[in-house]
Structure 1
C-alpha cells in the first residue's frame, strides 16, 4: 500500500483548480473564444422554442402552409448553426489542451529529476506514474468539457429561465420550484464525492505500483512460486478499488436521480397548469408550446450538472495530487533551506588540500527521529590526488551511505566534503557530477541500447575504451553489437554483465573522482582479475573511493579505511591493518558477521 498520501487542506474545488491557471494562460484566447462559441450555440438552441411559438400561433393557427415551410426552414438553419458552432468549439480546444497536458507532463518529469533521492525512496513509483498519466488525462478532459460547460450550462439555464418567466411567470415559478433542493443536493454531493474520488485515485496509484513491481519482479515471483499470492494481493487491491468506484457510482446515481426527477415533476406540473390556462383562454397554445419546449431544452443542462460536478471533483483531486509532487522541494532549494536553519555554510579549506576530503561529516536520514544516532558520525578522511582508497566495514556500517554523500545523492547533516579544496556544496550539482562518476553495487540499466546505457550522452569515441576497462567486450558479440537493446532493467543480461556495463559507464568520461560501491561483487574470479588489472591503469589517473568486501578488491587500493558503526576507526595499507587491527583481519578472513542493513 502507498505511504505517500498527503494530507491536503480543505480547499474548495474552484480554489484548487485555479492553480492550473499558469498552465492554461497561454491558451486562454482560444479557450475563452471556445466558451463564447459554446454559449452562442446553446443560446441558438433556445431560439427554436420561440420559432415554434410563432409557427403555432401564426401559420398553423391561420392555416398558412407557406408559413409552416418557412418556419421549418428557420428550424433547420438554427439546428445547423448550433451543430456548426459546437463543432467549432471542439476544434478550438483540441490542440491547445493537448499542449497543456503535454507541458504539465513534461514539467512533472523535469521536476521529478530534480527531486532528492530521499523523495524517491519515500514515494511509490506507481503513485508517480498515475499522476503523470491518469491524473493529467482527467485534467485535460476537465479543461475540454466540464470547465466550459459548467459556464455554458449556467448561462443557458439563466437565459432559459428568463425566457420562460417572460412567457408566463406563474409557470416559470413552477419550474423554479425544485431549484433549492437541487442546489442543496449538489453541495452535499460535492463534499462526499471529493473524498471518494481522492481515495479512488490513490488506489489506482497503489494498483499501478503492484503491477509494476510484479512485472519487474517476475523472476522472483516465478522462482518462488508466489504467483497465486501475488494474484490474491492484486485481487484484494482491485476489489477495494471496485468498491470505491461503486461508491462513486452510487453518489452519482443519487444526484442524477434527484436532478432528473424533480425537474421532470416540475415540467409535468407546468404542463397540467398550462393546459388549464390554455383551456381557460388565459394562455395561447403557441406560448405553452414555446414554454414547454424551452423547459425541455433545459433538461440536458440541468441533468448534466451531476456528472459535470463529478468530473470537476475528480479534476480537483487530480490537481491536488499533481501539485503534491510539484510542491516537493528540489535538491538545490532543499539544501539552501536547510542551510538557513543551521546547516553549515560553504567551507573554505586551505589551498593545498587536494583530492577528496571528509571533515567532521555527520549524517542522519531526514525521516529519522531527531534523537536517533547518526548513520555516520564525525567522519574524517583524506584521499589524496591520484590515490585510491578502499572502504571496508561490516554490512550496516554505513559504507553505501558514505559514498552517496560524495555526488550529493544525500546531503550531509553537518561537516564538509571537499574536492581539490572546494566544498561540494559550493558547486552546482551539474558541475559536481561532471567531476565525480559512480558505479553502484546494484547496477541499473535502462530500456535502451548497450551504447546508450554506457555513454549516457558522453562522446562515443570513449565507448570501446570503457568497455575494455570493464571487460565488457561481450557487448560486441550481442545480436546487434552495442546497438542491442538490453530490455527493461537490463534483465536480458546476466548480473555480471550488467555490473560490467555499469562500471564501463563510470569510467567512460575519464572522471577526476571515482566512487565505486563494490563494483565487482557479481563477477567470477577470472573476470574479476581481468577487470582489476584494467582498473589499475584507470585508478592511476584518478582519485577513487572504493567500497570493498573482498581482499582482491581491497588490493586495488593504495590505502584502506575501516568503517565501524558509522565511524572511521582505522586507516592504513591492507597489510598494515591485517597486522594491527583485529576487526579488519576478521573481516578479511571471510568470517565477519553480517548485519541487517547497509544504509
Structure 2
C-alpha cells in the first residue's frame, strides 16, 4: 500500500506564502472493490454496448468451437484409427480445418467490431476529463502536480480502453469456455474431471490474495509514473535554469531516483504475477498428470476407451488458456480499476457552484470589497487568514494602485475579483452587483487580467493576444499591440502570425510581458486588473508603455498591483495592504505625508533604483532572438 506523501506546493506568485498541501496521489482507497470501480466505466461504455456484446459473442463462439476438436478426435481414434479405415479420416480432418478457420475468422471479427467504438469511448472520456480540468478552481490545480494529471489523461486512459477491448471480453469468454469445458469433461469421465478440478479451491484462495496485493502495487506504480512525468515536464520547462546553474546532473539524479522507484514497483508487480502464474500453471499440470495416469489405467482395464481418454485430455489442454490467462486478466483488471479510480478522483472533484448572495445591488459604481476574508483551502488550521477583512472601493473610471510588502496578499486579492479563488468571507461587487451573482463566463468577459508572470501558449502572436477578446478584429489587435509598445511583432518572421513556441520562450521576458498586457487590454474591458505588468521592462520601454496605458486606464475601472513608484504614479489613488487589511487609502502625495508605513515602503523601492529617471536603451536592444533565430526556432 502506498504511503501518503507530502509535497510542498507554492502559489505561482512570489507575493504569496508557500503552503504545504497533501499529495492527492495517496494510494488506493481502503477496501476497494475492483468490480465496483470498473462498473463506473459503464456510462461511457454504454454507447458501445452492442459492439462489446458482438465481440463477446464472436470470441465465445470462436473459443467454444475449439471444444469441438476433442469430440472430433474421439471419433477419429475410436473410429478410423481403431478400425484401420484410413478413408474415414477425410471427413473428420475437414471438420477440424473448418473449426480452425471459424476460430481465426471470428477472432479477427472481434477486433474489427470493437476498435472504432472503443476509440470513441476513450476520446469522450479524455474530453470530459479535459473539460473538468478547465472548470475546476485554481485551488485544485495548486494541489495537483501536472504530471499526475497528464498521466491520467494519457496512460490511464489507454489502460481503460485496452481493458474494455480485451481483458473484459475474455474474462467473460474464458469463464464461459471453462464452464462449458468442465461440463464436457464430466460427460466424458466424471472421475477424471474431479481429479482435474482439485486445484480449483486453492487457486481461488490464491487469486483473492494476489488481487489485494497487486492492486496496491498497481496503484503505486501508476502514481510513481505520474511523479516521473512531473519531473520530466519540470526539467524540460526549466531547462534554461538547470543549465544556467549547472543543476542538470542534480535533476538527472532526481529523475534516476524516481525511475528506480518505479522500476522497483514494476518488478514487484512482475514477481507477484510470476508467482501466481507458476501456481496457476503448475497445479493444473500436476492434476492433469494424475488424470492421465488414472485414465491410462482405466483404458488398460477396458473401463475407458482410448478415444475418450484422448478427447478428455484434449479438452483439458484446451482449457489451459482460460486457466493460465486468469492471472494476467485479473492483473490487468486491477490495473484498469486503479486507472478508473484515478480518473474519477479528478471527475469527482466538485466544481464550485454559483451561490447568489441574495443582496440587493449597491448604489455605488466601480469595484467594492466589503469585509473580504480569504485563506487557502489547504492551509494549516492554525494559520491566520491571509486577508482578514478587506474594505476597499475603486470608483468607476478610477485607477487604484494596490501596494504592500511581499506576502501581504496583493495578488490573492486581485485573483478574487475574477473568482480564480473564492472568498472565505465578505463580498466583492462590480457596479453594485455581487460577483457571485454573475455567471463566470460573463464575469471573465467583464474583468480582464494581466499577471506579473506572463503565460503564452504554443500558438501565434495573434492567437495569444486575441485570447483576451476572441471576436476582436485586426484593428483592435493593432491597437492593443501599440498600447503595449509591442512594435517588435512587426520584425518577427511572420509578423503577428509568428509561432512563439512553448511558453513563449522564443521571446524575451519583456516581450512576453508586453504581449500579456496587450491580451488584457485588447477587448476594452470594463474592469482591468494588472498585477505589476511592467516589471520586466527597461525604464525607457516602461515609460512608453505607461504613456500609452494612461489612455486605456482613462476609459476603464482598474486595480493595479504596484511594486515600483513609477507604476504607482499611473493611479488616481493608492491603497496600502498590510496584516490582511487596507490600512491607508489616498493619493501618492497624501500617503507620503500621512502614512509612515507607506513612506517606508516607497523609500525602500526608491533606494533599490526602481525610480531612476534617466532613460535607458530601448528594450529592442536587450537580449532577444532576432528574426532569423526566431524563424529557425519556430520551424523546430
Alpha-carbon distance in 1 for matches of 2:441, 2:185 = 67
The answer to whether the aligner puts 1:281 opposite 2:302 as a matched pair is: yes
The answer to whether the aligner puts 1:429 opposite 2:450 as a matched pair is: no
Question: Displacement of 1:331 after TM fit?
Answer: 2.7
Question: Displacement of 1:311 after TM fit?
Answer: 0.3
Alpha-carbon distance in 2 for matches of 1:256, 1:427 = 60
Deviations 1:40-81 (A, max 9, x none): 111111011101111111122222223201111100001000
Q: Report 1:258-269 matches (<5 A).
A: 258-269=279-290
Q: Report 1:473-552 matches (<5 A).
A: 473-552=487-566
Question: Displacement of 1:525 after TM fit?
Answer: 0.5
Aligned-partner SS, 1:589: helix
Contact 2:428-2:435 at 8 Å conserved across structures: yes
TM-score (norm 1): 0.96
Question: Displacement of 1:371 after TM fit?
Answer: 4.0
Give the equivalent residue in structure 2 for 1:555: 569
Structure 2 residue corresponding to 1:378, chosen from 371, 385, 389: 389
Structure 2 residue corresponding to 1:460, chosen from 444, 469, 473: 473
Aligned-partner SS, 1:304: helix
Alpha-carbon distance in 1 for matches of 2:459, 2:351 = 27
Question: Displacement of 1:479 after TM fit?
Answer: 1.2
Give the equivalent residue in structure 1 for 2:71: 50
Give the equivalent residue in structure 1 for 2:80: 59
Alpha-carbon distance in 2 for matches of 1:388, 1:66 = 103
Give the equivalent residue in structure 1 for 2:457: 446
Give the equivalent residue in structure 1 for 2:405: 394
Give the equivalent residue in structure 2 for 1:5: 25
Question: Displacement of 1:328 after TM fit?
Answer: 0.6
The answer to whether the aligner puts 1:403 opposite 2:411 as a matched pair is: no
Contact 2:528-2:557 at 8 Å conserved across structures: yes
The answer to whether the aligner puts 1:154 opposite 2:175 as a matched pair is: yes
Structure 2 residue corresponding to 1:565, chosen from 579, 598, 601: 579
Give the equivalent residue in structure 2 for 1:342: none
Give the count of matched residue pairs.
584
Aligned-partner SS, 1:321: helix
Contact 2:565-2:605 at 8 Å conserved across structures: no
Deviations 1:443-476 (A, max 9, x none): 1111111111111134233211111111112112
Deviations 1:171-214 (A, max 9, x none): 11111111111111111100110011010000001100000001
Deviations 1:541-566 (A, max 9, x none): 10000001111111111111111121
Contact 1:394-1:592 at 8 Å conserved across structures: no
Gaps of 5+ in 2: 8-22, 609-636
Aligned-partner SS, 1:560: strand
Contact 1:586-1:592 at 8 Å conserved across structures: no
Structure 2 residue corresponding to 1:179, chosen from 196, 200, 203: 200
Contact 1:347-1:416 at 8 Å conserved across structures: no
Gaps of 5+ in 1: 340-344, 595-599
Cα gap change, 1:248/1:593 in structure 2, threshold over 3 Å: closer, same or farther? Answer: farther
Give the equivalent residue in structure 1 for 2:337: 316
Q: Report 1:119-130 matches (<5 A).
A: 119-130=140-151
Structure 1 residue corresponding to 2:360, chosen from 335, 343, 348: 348
Alpha-carbon distance in 1 for matches of 2:221, 2:57 = 34
TM-score (norm 2): 0.90
- Over the aligned positions, Cα root-mean-square deviation in angstroms equals 1.4
| Range moving further from structure 2, 1-10 or 96-105 | 1-10
Question: Displacement of 1:6 after TM fit?
Answer: 4.1
Deviations 1:227-249 (A, max 9, x none): 11111111111111111011000
Q: Report 1:102-141 matches (<5 A).
A: 102-141=123-162
